[in-house]
Structure 1
Amino acid sequence: MSNSTTPGEVDHNLYGYDPSKTAAYAFVALFVVSGFLHLIFIFTLRAAFFIPLILGSAMEAGGYYCRAWSTANTHNILPFVIQGLLILAAPPLLAATIYMTFGRIVRNLKGEVYSLISPKWLTAIFVLADVICLATQLAGSVLRASDDAATNKRGSGIVLGGLILQVVIFCLFAILASNFHIRFGRIENGHIALPWVKHMVVLYTMSLVFIIRNLVRILEFTQGDDGYLVTHESMLYVFDGAFMLFVVVLLLFVHPGGLFKAARHAMLMTVLGLSNEMAPISASKR
């Protein structure tokens, strides 16, 4: 039995259940492999803007490694705090990549005039909001680790505020993206065909995944420490781990770097006079 006087430990199971070492290590491996593949794509597809996603994948892997570490002693505070902090704070980094992807889609299609907000400001605004979400969730997670009930409650409120803000941000993002999609899709002049529509669909899909994930997290915090979502480990893996892994893997199969590479090639051909196509690039839906 754990001794409550042992430094760095408490006298009860911090999770309320025995975390699965197998599941934790499985997600460590999955996030490491997918993150490494994205690292390769950074060089092959000139996709440096995917660095936040790689960092987020590393944080996810680190979080699940700490859960595996906790299986040896569920009374140990350090791995419990670190895993909670990393798993909660990693998604905003993945979200930042999504925002930057949309801005680059608009620019590469030469469709700035069809976006309600300039791509430059669009990316800056959403990434700044994402940084605020990240900061609030990190700060709240640190406060939640306190033994003081009032401080712990304040930390939960801060994390909850960050999650709600992120839901609002993704809803606004989806509105802006769909507005661009509709307006740009009405273009009839220009005939340079690029498969841009499937990348927009991917953005919508990932936005929905993030919104559902955050809504579940909000419900988790409102239920409290004795709620169903907190006391059942499967909920974490289904609505957080699997959801975030889906985002990372989906971007491996439909990487926007391929679209941007094709767009750069098309514009180069136009500049060299080897093509009669002119921007804006056509709204091909193939």
Structure 2
Amino acid sequence: MSQEVGILQCTWGLCPVSASWFGYRPSLAMNVTFLVLFTIAFTAHLLLYLRYRTSGFSICLLIGCALEVSGYAGRILAYTNPWSLPAFFIQINGIGLAPTFFAAGIYLCLTRIVIVYGASLSRVQPKVYTYFFVLNDIISLVIQLPGGIISSLSASQGRAPTTGAHIGLAGVSFQVFSLTIWLVLAGEFAVRCLRAGRGAWDGRYEKARDSVQFKLFLGGLVLAMAALYARSVYRIIELREGYTGRFARDELAFCVLEGVMIVILSFATALFHPGVGFGDAYPLITEQKAKFPRPWKKNAFFMKDIMRTRALLDSSDRVDALGLDSVEMVTKSQI
């Protein structure tokens, strides 16, 4: 690029494409393909929401797919002008923030899985998973969002968005930390279930657990989490060097480790949707989940404390199948 020409004044006749925000001319075919795929995924999740009313999960996935569509629309715009500031802004904020919402949707599934196998087998009560991981996801989003804004402001002044990239790196790193904790807790719960044996699992959900749909849902969730984890690790490596680093300017790596990974996540969560996986048990699971007290209430964080309170009430006819109605009443009375 000529020294007299700033990046904001660049055109095809004045600057090499290597001097653009992307460092290359984004592939039109690749980005149109991803835009179409995420549009299909968005439509599928919308239809599945209307069918199964999986509100929290579906809203997260729909927002994520919509952000991906906007991000790839930005990259298509960059095909005609890789120096376009709006194209750069749309891409880094759309594609950069979308996985945060995908993660939130996946996090929400663990609470219901715990209930299906038996809340009494969990170290912490089911609502802890929801509140803890959604809070972590909000923190990750709060960190990443300013990073995207600062990157855009730096770019609008013709400067390399280094500071914004480093802030984004902090947000993605926190997201990987949260994903790792989720995997550890999910694995720990699985081990507790295996050690307890099928006889200790909640009998009301035996039909749901033994169904092919539920097994496929679990497999799809594992696939989606693996894809999200791989993408997030790639993103850390990419942002360590900033938006002008080697990985940020490698379109093939971006295609495989960003685009393909999130496509796998989007379609795995649609094809093996929780509404289908839990089937007719979904409303009962939702009802049972609502009966648990908020985890910050007294004696309401660990299941052993809830079960101890239940044991104190077992001599009374006021206890339901799990004792949760009475436990919540007693917990509230202790505050």
Change in 2 beyond 3 A, CA 1:265/1:210:
closer
Deviations 1:214-241 (A, max 9, x none): 1111111223445332122111111011
Say whether residues 1:235 and 2:246 are aligned partners.
no
Q: C-alpha root-mean-square deviation of aligned residues, in Å? A: 2.8
Give 1:254's aligned amino acid. F
1:117-266 residue pairs with structure 2 within 5 A?
117-145=124-152, 146-147=154-155, 152-185=161-194, 186-189=197-200, 190=203, 192-193=206-207, 194=209, 195=211, 196-264=214-282
**Is there any run of 5+ residues in structure 2 with no aligned partner, and where?**
286-320, 323-335
Whether the aligned pair in 2 keeps the contact of 1:67 and 1:79 (CA below 8 Å) is yes
- For residues 23 and 282 of structure 2, what CA distance do their matches in structure 1 show? 53
Determine whether 1:42 maps to 2:60: no
Tell which deviates more after alignment, 47-56 or 217-226.
217-226
Q: Is there any run of 5+ residues in structure 1 with no aligned partner, and where?
A: 268-278, 281-286
For 1:104, the equivalent position in structure 2 comes to 112
Identity of aligned residues (%): 28
Counterparts of 2:253 and 2:112, CA distance in 1 = 34
CA drift of 1:161 comes to 0.9
| d(CA) in 1 for partners of 2:276, 2:37 | 23
Match of 1:228, SS?
Answer: coil
What is the CA–CA distance in structure 2 between the aligned matches of 1:264 and 1:215, rounded to whole Å? 33
**Which residue of structure 2 lines up, in the alignment, with residue 72 of structure 1?**
80
Distance 1:149 1:158, change over 3 A: farther
Residue 13, structure 1, aligned to residue 20, structure 2: yes
- Range 213-222 or range 188-197, more displaced: 188-197
Cα distance, 1:265 vs structure 2: 8.0
Pick closer, same or farther for the CA change 1:149–1:122 going to 2, 3 Å: farther
Give the TM-score taking structure 1 as reference length.
0.83
Q: How far did 1:81 drift?
A: 1.3
- The alpha-carbon distance between structure 1 residues 9 and 35, as it changes in their structure 2 partners (threshold 3 A), is farther
Give deviations 1:161-190, integer Å, cap 9, x for gaps.
111111111111011111222223423153
Superposed CA deviations along residues 2-47 of structure 1, whole A, max 9, x for unmatched, are 99579x6556422111111121111111101111011011121221
Contact preservation (8 Å) 1:100, 1:123: yes
Distance 2:25 2:50 in 1: 41
CA contact under 8 A between 1:31 and 1:61: conserved in structure 2?
Answer: yes
> In the alignment, does 2:97 pair up with 1:89?
yes
User: Whole-Å Cα distance in 2 between the matches of residues 150 and 202 of structure 1?
Assistant: 42
TM-score of the two chains, using structure 2 as the length reference: 0.72
Bigger Cα displacement from structure 2, 34-43 vs 143-152: 143-152
Deviates further, 147-156 or 89-98: 147-156
Q: Give the SS at the match of 2:199.
A: coil
Structure-2 change in CA distance of 1:176 and 1:72 (3 Å): same
Classify 1:236/1:243 alpha carbon distance in 2 versus 1 (closer, same or farther; 3 Å): same
Corresponding residue of 2:331: none
Contact residue 9 and residue 77 of structure 1 kept, 8 A: no
| Contact 1:9 1:76 (C-alpha < 8 Å) held by counterparts | no
Hey, what's the Cα distance between the residues in 2 that align with 1:220 and 1:72?
A: 24
Give the letter aligned to residue 129 of structure 2: L
* Distance across 2 between alignment mates of 1:63 and 1:131: 20
More divergent stretch after superposition (51-60 vs 177-186): 177-186
Deviation sequence 1:123-163 (CA, Å, 0-9, x none) = 11101111111121121112123057999333222111111
Task: Tell me the number of residue pairs that the alignment of Structure 1 and Structure 2 aligns.
Answer: 268
Partner of residue 115, structure 1: 122
Larger Rg: 2
Shift in alpha-carbon separation, 1:138–1:4, aligned structure 2, 3 A: farther
Alpha-carbon distance in structure 2 between the residues aligned to 1:4 and 1:63: 27
Provide Cα deviations, 1:198-227, integer angstroms capped at 9, x if missing partner. 433433332222222111111112234453
